[in-house]
Structure 1
Amino acid sequence: MKFQWFFLTVGYSGLFPKAPGTMGTIASLPLGIAILMYFGSQTLFLAAFLITLIAIKSINQYESTSNNHDDSRIVIDELAGMWFALSIAPGIGFNMAELFQWENGIAVQILLSFVFFRIYDIRKPSIIGRIDRETKGGLGVMGDDIIAGFAAGITSALLWQAFLKIASFV
């Protein structure tokens, strides 16, 4: 049970009294960026997918014993969503020296992915909110964040590409 709680709260980051979802998202960034940097976007995507599958089962077990659906302390869904966003937005491998080079936009896309993910996760527009309201169990807890992650990654990538197109005309 201790390991399950460590996993579901992403190293206990979900236990912060203020904004546990944001804290879980922030806690997920360093490892997600490291996986993206050293192993690439495909590995990060597959890691997020694997964690999602494990988390659905683990959340179902937790909810069956606690009778508490979508406990705010559970932030593994934020990790998965953020990792999906990161795997989509930069979409390329990079090294530490390239992380803060403006030309490649990696740091900008990471920041945009974070911001858009939190906006979509908190506001829950469209299908994100529908999944959150209507889907029960682990799939419901994970589902809205997965879609928010995909939306954040795509939004970040599109915004960066639009910026590059506009900048090329100037």
Structure 2
Amino acid sequence: MDKQIRQRVSLFNPIHFLALGFGSGLAPKAPGTFGTIAALPLVVLLSLYSSLSVYLLITILASIVGIWICGKTADDMQVHDDSSIVWDEVAGMLITMFAVPLSWQSLLLGFVLFRVFDILKPWPISYLDKHVHGGFGIMIDDVLAGLFACLVLHLGFYFFSS
């Protein structure tokens, strides 16, 4: 993020703090990866200490409110989808791990799958990434990447667990 853009956001602003993934989006390299890593403690806490319905509710809220959080921060930055905005990765990782049995192996596999889908952007993710703008545009590609990764995880558990 260049200096002019950095001056338009503040980690003391709760909207910016969330959009920047609790500050992880300010990493000088691979901010999306760091945003995904920042989501892992939230995934673990929700998986261990909440019901599936609470996990789902928080994931839906994170995704819907994320449209506004990311859109507002992008407007404040005056940049459509700056790489430092990583709340979409947080929501995407929550989606990825929905109803997945929690272990370090499933977290690692979920992390890798989500990052692969987020980076490679297979169709229709790539189409939406290029053609949908605003907060919804920032969020939708990561929501779909999370859904794809979640589906692959569940299929893997179905076919490969004994």
Q: If the TM-score is normalised by the length of the shorter chain, which range does it land in?
A: 0.7 to 0.9
Deviation at 1:76, TM superposition (A): 0.3
Matches within 5 A, 1:28-47: 28-47=39-58
Deviation at 1:70, TM superposition (A): 0.8
Cα offsets for 1:38-66 (capped at 9, x unmatched): 10333222112111222211222233333
| 1:88–1:70 CA distance, 2 compared to 1 (3 A) | farther
Q: How many residues align?
A: 151
What is the alpha-carbon distance in structure 1 between the residues aligned to residue 111 and residue 85 of structure 2?
Answer: 18
1:53 aligned partner: 64
Instruction: Give the match's secondary structure for 1:157.
Output: helix
1:152 aligned partner: 149
1:124 aligned partner: 121
* Residue 113 (str. 1) matches residue 114 (str. 2): no
Counterpart residue identity of residue 54, structure 1: V
Structure showing greater Rg: 1
| 1:22–1:85 CA distance, 2 compared to 1 (3 A) | same
- After superposition, the CA RMSD in angstroms is 1.5
Cα offsets for 1:129-149 (capped at 9, x unmatched): 111111000001100000110
Cα offsets for 1:57-93 (capped at 9, x unmatched): 1222233333211110011000000001111433xxx
2:80 aligned partner: 69
What is the alpha-carbon distance in structure 2 between the residues aligned to residue 127 and residue 21 of structure 1?
Answer: 20
| 1:41–1:111 CA distance, 2 compared to 1 (3 A) | farther
Instruction: Give ranges in structure 2 of 5+ residues lacking alignment.
Output: 1-9
Instruction: Give the match's secondary structure for 1:73.
Output: coil
72-81 vs 42-51, which moves further:
42-51
Maintained 8 Å contact 1:89/1:154:
no
What is the alpha-carbon distance in structure 2 between the residues aligned to residue 133 and residue 20 of structure 1?
Answer: 20
Maintained 8 Å contact 1:14/1:73:
yes
**TM-score, normalisation: structure 1:** 0.82
| 1:89–1:153 CA distance, 2 compared to 1 (3 A) | farther
57-66 vs 36-45, which moves further:
57-66
Select the residue among 86, 92, 96 that pairs with 1:81: 92
2:139 aligned partner: 142
Instruction: Give ranges in structure 1 of 5+ residues lacking alignment.
Output: 91-98, 100-105
**TM-score, normalisation: structure 2:** 0.86
